[in-house]
Amino acid sequence: METESSALAGNAPINSDQVICTLYEGDYHLGVAVLINSIVRGGFRGLFWVGYRGELPPWVAQLSRRQDGLYVIGEALLGFEKIGSKSHFTQYKPEFMTSLIARGLASNYLWYFDPDITVRCAWEFFVRWVRHGICLCQEITMGVMPSDHPIRCEWIELAERSGWGQLTHPQERYYNGGFLGMQVAHAAFLETWRAAMRLANSSGVHESNLWHSDRSSTFFATDQDALNLAVMYAKAPLSTIGPEGMGFVPGGFTMYHTAGGSKPWRKKFLKSALSGNPPWKGDKHFLECAGGPIKP
């Protein structure tokens, strides 16, 4: 991999108790900036690590840069890494997270956030949450997926044929792939997720795909299906929140996830409002967090 930050030279001298990572290409750098803003204002003091394709965001020119190549944002640090993999970033997540642990960047806790998420609460809650196990949020689309659902049964058949062993966490819920928090001590879960992704690829999912065929397929939402298969065989404890965790339904306090194609940095808010579609709470929170410390 090509690395933008010199901090990874040699034996990766940087090491942080808390690391937050994300992946972006194209205009998703705007989402990265606002994601970082939302977390920094909640009190985060660790390391942000951003994998990217293309060019560095233009907004890095606003930030001071240390001699080791890391950028300073309040009491947090930010590093970038140029990704050479051809895989769709949605499939690359577990490999990316594994590499950060393997290279010693994260010493205790590691979180992944999609760049279209903003965090609503104090960061201290996430630190408390991750102590209880692998952190996940329930999806809203097909969020209830019974343990005997035929798609789950097909996943289990594939896992059994591959010698995965005992099913540890039978699930009735289906989780969103845009967020995951974990202790570094539970890094073996990432290998299970990667193995599930390989099962999806061997079942016909091309590495460049976000979606595969339709929901009747054994694997459809690529990394998300693979994540949910991995959860069923996780050797680590889980700690989960319902769809309110990403603002998909009322009652949450942790995140807003602007999933789907209509991202807040692309929306024409005035035109939409005149058409009778006011911004939802996640859009408003995005705009609120866009004011700094990074001004995208």
All domains of the chain in start order, with CATH: 6-289 (3.90.550.10)
Q: What is the pLDDT of residue 261?
A: 72
pLDDT at position 211, please? Answer: 46
Q: What is the pLDDT of residue 278?
A: 85
- Which residue ranges in the chain fall short of pLDDT 50? 1-13, 211
pLDDT of residue 219: 87
pLDDT at 6: 40
What is the per-residue pLDDT for 223? Answer: 81
CA neighbor of 243 nearest in space, from 151, 150, 142:
142
User: Is there a contact between 184 and 107 (Cβ–Cβ < 8 Å)?
Assistant: yes
φ and ψ of 289, to 5 deg:
-85, -10
- Crossing angle of the two packed helices 223-232 and 188-202, in degrees rounded to 10: 130
Q: How far apart are CA 218 and CA 204, in angstroms?
A: 10
pTM of the model: 0.92
pLDDT given at position 172: 97
Identify whether the C-beta of residue 24 lies closer than 8 Å to the C-beta of residue 30: no
Strand, coil or helix: 149: coil
Give tens-digit pLDDT for 215-236: 788 888 778 999 999 999 999 9
In 20-53, which positions are buried (b, 16+ CB within 10 angstroms) versus exposed (e)? bbbbbeeebbbbbbbbbbbbbbeebebbbbbbbe
**Cβ atoms of 64 and 284 closer than 8 Å:** no
DSSP string, 159-209: HHHTT--------SB-B-TTEEEEEGGGTHHHHHHHHHHHHHHHTT--TT-
